[in-house]
């Protein structure tokens, strides 16, 4: 199951699940960084394939690794907000959740926001949508699942992806052993199909 349930889409109008289905472009996204070892490797690989991506950054990680964050921005990729400490919105007050995101926006400029785990309450959403563009996905890579091989991850992503798709990877130490080889296979497959990887524009 790589596609989100239709009910979620209906409950949260205005959330971005995918882009234009009629352009030969896809959006690769990387969550939970910046990571001092993994993120630079992702940037190198993207550059080899002249691919642009969008990085949903955790505020505390940006504070800890500001040079890696600058490297992302200077390489021409887009950045988005992924809360200060990777909090799930479920079970948090609206005020505390919004504070997590506003604190992060001091370091991660722009309106793009992705809720960690995709878990955001309706009240939180209706407050945040006034200032942020909430970005979900239509293809999950499952690169955090230790039992999956990079080949399977890449094959599943390439099967599910279509023009306009938003794909989730993780530039984290946990996902890296699977994500890096899977990413290279995906980049190769997309190139062969003539699908360009572009950064999100808010």
- Told to judge if 31 belongs to the known catalytic residues of this protein, a careful annotator would answer yes
Q: With respect to Zn ion, which residue has the nearer C-beta, 48 or 173?
A: 173
Stretch that binds Zn ion, among 114-122, 126-134, 149-157, 160-168 (CB under 5 A): 114-122
Asked if residue 101 lies in contact with residue 111, where contact means CB atoms within 8 angstroms, the answer is no
User: CA 186 to CA 25: how far, in whole Å?
Assistant: 14
Contact pick of 28, 29, 32, 134 for Zn ion (by CB under 5 A) = 32
Please tell me the number of Cα atoms within 13 Å of 171 on its side-chain side. Answer: 30
User: CA 101 to CA 141: how far, in whole Å?
Assistant: 25
Asked if residue 15 lies in contact with residue 134, where contact means CB atoms within 8 angstroms, the answer is yes
Stretch that binds Zn ion, among 25-33, 60-68, 131-139, 158-166 (CB under 5 A): 25-33
- Told to judge if 170 belongs to the known catalytic residues of this protein, a careful annotator would answer yes
Task: Kindly tell me the sign of the dihedral angle through the C-alpha atoms of 12, 15, 21, 27.
Answer: negative
Is residue 156 a contact point for Zn ion (CB under 5 A)? Answer: no
- How big is the chain by its Cα radius of gyration, in Å? 16
Residues 61, 64, 66, 68, Cα dihedral to 10° = -60
Contact pick of 116, 133, 135, 186 for Zn ion (by CB under 5 A) = 116
Q: With respect to Zn ion, which residue has the nearer C-beta, 32 or 156?
A: 32
Minimum separation from the CB atom of position 31 to Zn ion (A): 4
Count the Cβ atoms, other than its own, within 10 Å of residue 48.
Answer: 10
Q: Which of 18, 31, 32, 35 is catalytic?
A: 31
Is residue 40 a contact point for Zn ion (CB under 5 A)? Answer: no
Q: With respect to Zn ion, which residue has the nearer C-beta, 161 or 175?
A: 175
How many chain residues touch Zn ion (CB under 5 A)? 3
Q: With respect to Zn ion, which residue has the nearer C-beta, 29 or 165?
A: 29
Question: Residues 65 to 104: which contact Zn ion by CB under 5 A?
Answer: none
User: CA 125 to CA 173: how far, in whole Å?
Assistant: 29
Contact pick of 26, 28, 31, 167 for Zn ion (by CB under 5 A) = 31
List, by residue number, the catalytic residues: 31, 170
């Amino acid at each position: 199951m790589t596609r989100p349930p239709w009910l979620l889409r209906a409950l949260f109008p205005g959330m971005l699940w995918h882009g234009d289905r009629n352009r030969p472009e896809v959006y690769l996204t990387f969550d939970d960084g910046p990571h001092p070892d993994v993120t630079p490797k992702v940037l190198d690989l993207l550059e080899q394939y002249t691919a642009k991506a969008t990085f949903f950054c955790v505020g505390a990680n940006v504070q800890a690794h500001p040079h890696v964050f600058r490297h992302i921005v200077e390489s021409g990729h887009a950045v988005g907000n992924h809360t200060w400490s990777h909090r799930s919105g479920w079970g948090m007050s609206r005020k505390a959740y919004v504070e997590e995101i506003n604190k992060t926006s001091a370091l991660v400029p722009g309106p793009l926001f992705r809720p960690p785990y995709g878990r955001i309450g309706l009240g939180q959403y209706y407050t945040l949508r006034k200032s942020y563009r909430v970005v979900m996905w239509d293809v999950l890579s499952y690169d955090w699942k230790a039992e999956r091989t990079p080949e399977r991850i890449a094959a599943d992503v390439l099967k599910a992806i279509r023009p306009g798709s938003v794909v989730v990877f993780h530039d984290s130490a946990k996902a890296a052993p699977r994500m890096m080889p899977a990413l290279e296979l995906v980049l190769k497959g997309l190139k062969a199909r003539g699908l360009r990887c572009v950064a999100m524009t808010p």
